[in-house]
Amino acid sequence: MMIRDTLEMNVRRIYDFVIYSKNFLIRKNPIKAMVNSFMDGLRDFLTMGKKKKMAQYRLNYHMHQFKKMEQLIAENNQHTFLKGNNLNETR
């Protein structure tokens, strides 16, 4: 009688564990999360060149704007010896 109760209790615990595990896998779905993470990494890897080109373009654009600003400041400055080569200390 006692062995039967112990066996039933252990079977019930295993059954509950299987149900909890199944519900966890349905709720969290680690395989789907892993696949999504892999696909995001692959997408980032394949678009790396395009992102680099865009960053290089932005950098070149800002450097051009910076040089234009320096040139305008040097032209409008009473200290004409700067000629845009050095940063104006007063700005």
The two three-digit tokens of residue 85, written as one number: 């080569």
* Average pLDDT over every residue of 5-24: 95
Q: Check whether residue 25 and residue 63 sit in a common domain.
A: no
More confident residue, 32 or 85: 32
| 42 and 55 both lie in a single domain | no
Is there a single domain that holds both residue 42 and residue 57?
Answer: no
Claim: this prediction has a pTM higher than 0.75: no
The reported pLDDT for the residue numbered 81 is 55
Assigned token pair, 5: 């109760």
Q: Are residues 62 and 88 in the same domain?
A: yes
- Same-domain pairing of 37 and 58: no
Q: Containing H/E element for 64?
A: helix 48-76
Number of domains present in the structure of the chain: 2
Q: What is the mean pLDDT of the chain?
A: 87
Can you tell me the mean pLDDT for 46-60? 96
Contacts for 67 with CB less than 8 Å, ≥ 6 apart: 84
- Region 76-87: mean pLDDT is 58
pLDDT of residue 60: 97
By residue range, what is the domain housing residue 79? 51-91
57 and 38: one domain?
no
